[in-house]
Chains A and B, each alone.
Chain A
Amino acid sequence: MSDKKHIDRLFQEKLKNFEATPDDALWDNIHDRLHKDKRKRRVIPIWWKVAGVAALLALLFTVGMKLTSNDFNSNATNPIVDTEKQSPIKSNETMIPDSGNSDDIQNQMERSSSDVTENSSDSEDGLSDNSDKTSNNKSKNNRLNRKLTTTPESNTNRIANSDKSETKGRDSQDKLNKESFLNSSSNENNTGNSKSAVVKVSENNENNSNQNNLDVKKEKSEIDKLIKDSKNDTNSKVTNASEKTESIITEEKKEETTKETKEDKSIEDAIAEANTEDEKEKEKKLNRWNISPNVAPVYFNSLGKGSSLDEQFVDNEKSSEVTMSYGVGGSYAINERLKVRAGINKVDMGYNTNNVLAFRSVDPTSQARLQLSNVSINDDAENMTYLSTESLNRNITPEIINSKSDGSLNQRFGFIELPLEVEYAFINKKLGVNVIGGFSTLIVDNNEIFSVVNGTETRIGEANNINNMSYSANFGLGINYNISEKVKVNVEPTFKYQINTFNNSSGDFQPYFIGIYTGLSYKF
């Protein structure tokens, strides 16, 4: 088989010492692939602020959308509550089948009880008056009773009550005799309460009802008898007594029913409490989000003496134009006092450098010498020269220049501002006071420089030393006034110290702007 090996061996021997050198660029590729992770990490710190703001905005909107949809749901239940107000008893009838909603039931209870107490207070007055009026009282009381009984009729619940009130009714008749001499007014008061209690109980006991219907009817008839007895009695004292007995009966009922309610509470209250807790939680959540459009007059200036345009203007008088900022912000309440806010604003600024001479230079060499260091001049303004009068010695400059009137350079620039701030409320009442701190990312969207001579403005170019992206440290004081539960008026004077806006500025140029941010904020 030596032949067979021959061809293999040929290749083996020939290729044994074969070496080829790969392209040098190959190592760079390999190196990049091995170390690209590190490079990525280096990039992150530069972008994290922007990314953070973007992420927060996205978060605000997505979660905000979810919450608004919840908000609609809760609104949907409210109209039913409104109808209750108009006719509480009807609403009892209608609402009770909807036993799942504990909140509604509670509302109904309160309303029906208040109805009853009204009636009872009427009857109280009657009782304390003379017997002439007692008949009126009777009728009122009857009405009361009817209400008591009618509501049970409409509600399947009352049965549970009636069970107890049956036995009690008998007991109470005995007691009635003994207790009939009790202070009628206090009894009356109690009846009011007790009736309301009964109503409550009847509502609470909805579920037990069906089995006990028969008992209830018996019970009713007993009560009715008592009532009739009392009515038939022409003697006013007796009527008083009967009324008292009624009240006592109802009191008895109340006692029983309260016992009952206590027992029932164990379950029902637990459910109700749980529901109300949920409700509370919802309410809190519902109010966490805020959206607030705002507008502000803005005043731009520098803390130190300096110029962003050119060294020669450091000592010149400067003045700021009052410009506008407008935008919209959103906030999320971490707790009652602390809010995180973000937003987007458009802000424009105007800044004048005064005492500047502008003249057309004939000599191109001098023009080159006098160019402004931080301004890219337009083509049509190329052979203009701008000089600070502060730097001129009037005695030695040519008459032509001295005779020229002073002009100014007007710098206008604008930013898209993305603030990210924290707001802490000192006072959190109808009138609120809070402090605001945070930072903004500023993205340049406008940059122009005009020369103003004798009132005529000429655009001469733009500043070449404004960074596309810069930041500001913000500190503000906010005052707000609650117009309604959901709407507030805000006024927030805010100081914003700009960081890294200009490179290569002259003198001690520390730009800042002040805005009086005014707006409405809407809670949802």
Chain B
Amino acid sequence: MSLEQLIEQCKKNDAKAQSQIYKLFASKLFSLSLKYSRNHAEAEDNLQDAFVTIFKKIEQFKSKGSLEGWMKRIAINTALQRYRTVGVFNIVNEGQIEDVSIEIDDDNIGIDYLLQIIQELPDRYRLVFNLYALDDYSHNEIAEMLEISTGTSKSNLARARQILKDKIEQYRASPNSQTL
């Protein structure tokens, strides 16, 4: 069955087609959720909520764009919604910092560790870093999505980078202590 046919079936709330779509995209959306979440459990919750929204709103999906892109946006929005309702966006320090250039050597750092330090970032730093560095949103878009100013977005990104860099350097200095 082609993807279009699957989508058509999903629009009729067909459980088999939904299952197929899920199988096709679950791991991609799960990795995305992992990056936007604090931990594994939260990522699972997010994935679940995202798929429920996807199948409930699949009628609104126009075949013009890619299904994957559309689903990703829903998954991201679901994650943002989670922190928006919790109200954590305002917790972090609003002080502006200069965007310093951060250089780092690309040697063998494990994916797990990278994911871990992303998840350890304060919520808004994590979201801004994800949106800007990994998912190609502009500061303007991010400002709108998170209901913050572009300045705050830029500053949050710089802080996120700084934290990540520090952690990676720490890791290099004493890799054994960071394998937790």
Interface set of A (CB-CB < 8 Å, partner B): 1, 3-4, 6-8, 10-15, 18-23, 26-27, 29-31, 33-35
Known interface pairs A6-B102, A7-B161, A20-B30. Does A15 touch B115 (Cβ–Cβ under 8 Å)? yes
* Contact A10 B106, CB 8 Å, known A3-B101, A23-B44, A30-B48: yes
B55 beta carbon closer than 8 Å to chain A: yes
Residues of B within 8 A of A35 (CB): 13, 15
Let me know if B114 is at the binding interface, CB within 8 A.
yes
Interface string of B145-162 (1 = CB under 8 A from A): 000000000000000010
Interface of B is mostly: helix
Complex Cα distance, B15 from A108, in Å, reads 78
B116 interface residue, CB < 8 Å from A? no
Within 8 A of A (CB), among B17-38: 18-19, 22, 26-28, 30-31, 34-35
Contact pick for B134, options A3, A4, A11, A19, CB 8 Å: A11
Asked if A31 contacts B27 (CB within 8 A), the reply is: no
Q: Return chain B residues, CB-CB under 8 Å to A1.
A: 101
User: Roughly how many angstroms separate A35 CA and B56 CA in the complex, as a whole number?
Assistant: 11
Question: How far in angstroms is the closest Cβ of chain B from A294?
Answer: 51
CB atoms of A19 and B19 under 8 A apart = no
Contacting residues, chain B, for A7 (C-beta < 8 A): 102-104, 133, 161, 164-165, 168
Residue contact B26 to A21, C-beta cutoff 8 Å: yes
Whether the Cβ atoms of A27 and B102 lie closer than 8 Å is no
Task: Taking A6-B102, A15-B134, A19-B30 as given, write out 6 further A-B residue pairs in contact, using a Cβ cutoff of 8 Å, ordered by the A residue number.
Answer: A7-B164, A18-B31, A19-B27, A20-B30, A27-B19, A34-B55
Measured CB to CB, the closest approach of chain B to A80, in angstroms, equals 65
Q: How far is the CA of A433 from the CA of B61 in the complex (A)?
A: 67
Chain A hits for B114, CB < 8 A: 10-11, 14-15
B52 interface residue per 8 A CB criterion: yes
How many B residues touch A, CB cutoff 8 Å?
37
Query: A23 to chain B: which residues have CB within 8 Å?
Result: 44
B88 contacts A by Cβ under 8 Å: no
Per CB-CB distance, the 8 closest pairs between chain A and chain B, nearest first, are A8-B133, A3-B103, A3-B101, A19-B27, A4-B101, A22-B30, A7-B102, A30-B51
Interface centre among A11, A18, A31, A34 (most CB of B within 10 A): A11
Cα distance A20–B118 when bound, in Å? 16
**Cα A450 to Cα B173 with chains together (Å):** 85
B168 partner residues in chain A, CB cutoff 8 A:
7
In the bound complex, how far is the Cα of B132 from the Cα of A295, in angstroms?
A: 81
How far apart are B61's CB and chain A's nearest CB, in angstroms? 16
* B55 contact set on A, CB distance < 8 A: 30, 34
* Interface status of B99 (Cβ within 8 A of chain A): yes
Within 8 A of A (CB), among B46-86: 47-48, 51-52, 55-56
Q: Is the CB of A15 within 8 A of B104?
A: no
Instruction: Give the complex CA separation of A29 and B132 in angstroms.
Output: 32
Count of chain A to chain B residue pairs whose CB atoms are closer than 8 Å in the complex: 92
Are B18 and A34 in contact, CB atoms less than 8 angstroms apart?
Answer: yes
- Least CB distance from A405 to B in Å reads 66
Taking CB atoms, residues of chain B closer than 8 Å to A27 are 19, 22, 26
Residues of A near B118 (CB, < 8 A) are: 11
Q: Is there contact, CB below 8 Å, between B27 and A15?
A: no
Judged by a CB distance under 8 angstroms, whether B91 is at the interface is no
Given known pairs A7-B161, A27-B22, the reply for A15 and B31 (CB within 8 Å) is yes
Cross-chain contact A18 with B18 (CB below 8 angstroms)? no
* B111–A14 CB distance below 8 A: yes
A14 to B161, CA, bound (A): 16
Roughly how many angstroms separate A509 CA and B65 CA in the complex, as a whole number? Answer: 67
B15 x A31 contact (CB < 8 A): yes
Q: State in angstroms the CA–CA spacing of A15 and B161 once bound together.
A: 16
Q: Nearest B residue to A35 by beta-carbon distance?
A: B15
Q: How far is the CA of A35 from the CA of B134 in the complex (A)?
A: 34
Name 22 A/B residue pairs within 8 A (Cβ), A-sorted: A3-B101, A3-B102, A4-B102, A6-B102, A6-B106, A7-B104, A7-B133, A7-B161, A7-B168, A10-B114, A11-B114, A11-B133, A14-B114, A15-B31, A18-B31, A22-B26, A22-B47, A26-B44, A27-B22, A33-B48, A34-B55, A34-B56
Given the interface pairs A7-B102, A7-B104, A34-B18, the reply to whether A20 lies near B133 with Cβ below 8 Å is no
Q: Which residue of A lies closest to B23 (CB)?
A: A27
Q: In the complex the two chains form, what is the Cα distance from A18 to B29 in whole Å?
A: 11
Give the distance in Å from the alpha carbon of A4 to the alpha carbon of B164 in the complex: 13
Central interface residue in A20, A30, A31, by most chain B CB within 10 Å: A20
B104 touches A10 (CB 8 A): yes
In the complex the two chains form, is B133's CB within 8 Å of A12's CB? yes
Residues of B within 8 A of A15 (CB): 31, 35, 111, 114-115, 134
Q: Which of B94-124 contact A (CB under 8 A)?
A: 99, 101-104, 106, 109, 111, 114-115, 118
Are B19 and A31 in contact, CB atoms less than 8 angstroms apart? yes
Docked-complex contact B48 and A31, CB < 8 angstroms: no
Q: Are the C-beta atoms of B104 and A6 separated by less than 8 Å?
A: yes
Q: How far is the CB of B115 from chain A (nearest CB, A)?
A: 7
- Which residues of the other chain, A, contact B111 by a CB distance below 8 angstroms? 14-15, 18
Indicate if the CB atoms of B15 and A6 lie closer than 8 Å. Answer: no
Kindly provide the distance from the CB of A251 to the nearest chain B CB, expressed in whole angstroms. Answer: 87
On whether the beta carbons of B44 and A22 are closer than 8 Å, the reply is yes
Contacts of A8 in B (CB 8 A): 132-134, 161
- B30 contact from A4, A6, A21, Cβ within 8 A: A21
A8 to B157, CA, bound (A): 10
A1 to B132 alpha-carbon distance, docked (Å)? 16
Q: Tell me the nearest residue of chain A to B117, going by C-beta.
A: A11
A residues in contact with B31, CB < 8 Å? 15, 18-20
* Closest B residue by C-beta to A37: B13
Cβ B27 vs Cβ A20 within 8 A: yes
Taking a contact as CB atoms under 8 Å apart, the answer to whether A34 and B27 are in contact is: no
Q: Which residues of B contact A31 (CB under 8 A)?
A: 15, 18-19
Chain A residues lying within 8 Å of B34, measured Cβ to Cβ, are 20
Query: Which B residues touch A18, using CB under 8 A?
Result: 31, 111, 115
In whole angstroms, how far apart are the Cα atoms of A330 and B139 in the complex? 71
Question: How long is the Cα–Cα vector from A27 to B101 in the complex, in angstroms?
Answer: 43
**In the bound complex, CA of A349 to CA of B38 (Å):** 65
Residues of chain B within 8 A of A19, CB atoms compared: 27-28, 30-31
Report whether A26 and B28 are in contact in the complex, using a CB–CB cutoff of 8 Å: no
Contacts of A3 in B (CB 8 A): 101-103
Which partner residue on chain A sits nearest B40 by CB separation? A20
List, in ascending order, chain A residues with CB within 8 A of B22's CB.
27, 30
